[in-house]
Amino acid sequence: MGARYDAGVSTPAAVNWAGNLTFSAVRLTHPASLDELCELVVASDQVRALGAGHSFSAVADTTGTLVRLDRLPPIIDIDASSLTATVSAGLRYSDIVATLDAEGFALANLASLPHITVAGAAATGTHGSGDRLRNLADAVVALRIIPADGEPVWLRRGDPDFPGAVVALGALGIVTDVCLRVEPAFEVAQEVRLDVPLDEIAESWDEVFAAAYSVSAFTSYGDGRANVFLKHRAGAAGSGWSGGRTAKAPVHPIPIGDPAACTQQLGVPGPWYERLPHFRADAVPSAGNELQSEFFVARPDAPAALEALRGIADRVAPVLQISELRMVAADDQWLSPAYGRDCVAFHFTWIRDTPSVLPVVEAVEKALLPLGARPHWGKVSTAETSEIVSRYPRAAQFASLRRRFDPAGTFANAYTRELFPS
């Protein structure tokens, strides 16, 4: 989708996290104040915000100016009465979770990596895992955005435009502040079940993925087995499923990975933010030496999707590090890959070899797209943009919203122009 994939790495400012994409921007800037950022937007023909650079697609690219918000004043403002916390959009989850916990609060869900930014995760529909948990954008109850005229505006849940403004691919403006729904802090204990047959997962889907508050199954498809990570929330009952065998030592999701980078396992209880992610905030899980793809399939179609992927395991295996299966509950965000339907997300961590990976991604899409799969906006995909957009019932409303917020295309890039032509 307009990505300019590149196996080379130049400078950190010029490439994404994985180094597979070189940005087209003429400059990267770090405004130090809201006024400076507003002036920059007004003066720019083309401008985009760049979060942690963890996207593997060209969603954040621009031929103009890339803006990082990491030098704006950091804000973590907790309102206990409304159970909300307003945070600076450029902060990473790892920057805010300990403060929330120290004040007795938590977010309901977190992604695998706490290293990503709050605004970037929301803008691309990024998610964690949970049978009844929605993606990270669902926690957003308000946001402040700088549109093309440079006048900051707040959008709040209940406003007509709000469902189109959170998962917005950076196409409406620069988000500067995000107000998140919080809840009382809780503890989680994580265990891993080894060598679970994929046949058992397919036959007992509901029981497996309701066995804990958050469940992820990691597989390479070819051997017919998976390791299932169960994150048990204190006081919350699961389905009682306990297939496979109990891991007696810490396990990395990727078999050859070092489990020292992973969050605490072996059933040891701990704070929510130290268990819900797969990886510790103070560790680099893979140094970006990978590519990623992900496809959201409606829950009723998940067993068929699993069977289809097992059928092409011989194609997938040579370039696959690991694949993760996890649940994402339906939401109302117009461009969320889970819009309107409970989903199973099939995530692929590939080797970092773009020429070898892309044909396999195409094969995966050939297996999953006929089942109605929606690709993750920030991951590697080869699908035609027209086919992707057709899977979103509110795409036309979003296109209208984008034109209203950004009539001159200040925040447009090749990626969004392909998706939503003017």
Contact between 68 and 46 under an 8 Å Cβ cutoff? The reply is no
What's the burial of 138, exposed, middle or buried (CB within 10 Å: 0-12/13-18/19+)?
buried
Q: Which residues of the chain have pLDDT under 50?
A: 1-12
Nearest-angstrom CA–CA distance, 258 and 276: 18
Residue 44, C-beta contacts closer than 8 angstroms, at least 6 positions apart: 64, 65, 410
CA-closest candidate to residue 3, choices 29, 22, 17, 19:
22
DSSP line for 136-199:
GGGGEEEEEEE-TTS--EEEEBTBTTHHHHSS-TT-S-EEEEEEEE-EE--EEEEEEEEEEEHH
- Rounded to whole angstroms, what are the CA distances from 198 to 201, 219, 244, 325? 5, 8, 11, 11
Contact between 201 and 118 under an 8 Å Cβ cutoff? The reply is no
Structure confidence at residue 400 (pLDDT): 96
Structure confidence at residue 8 (pLDDT): 28
Task: Give the amino acid at 105.
Answer: F
pTM: 0.94
Structure confidence at residue 289 (pLDDT): 84
Residue 205, C-beta contacts closer than 8 angstroms, at least 6 positions apart: 299, 302, 303
Give the tens place of pLDDT for each residue, 398-409: 999 999 999 999
Alpha-carbon 339 to chain mean position: 14
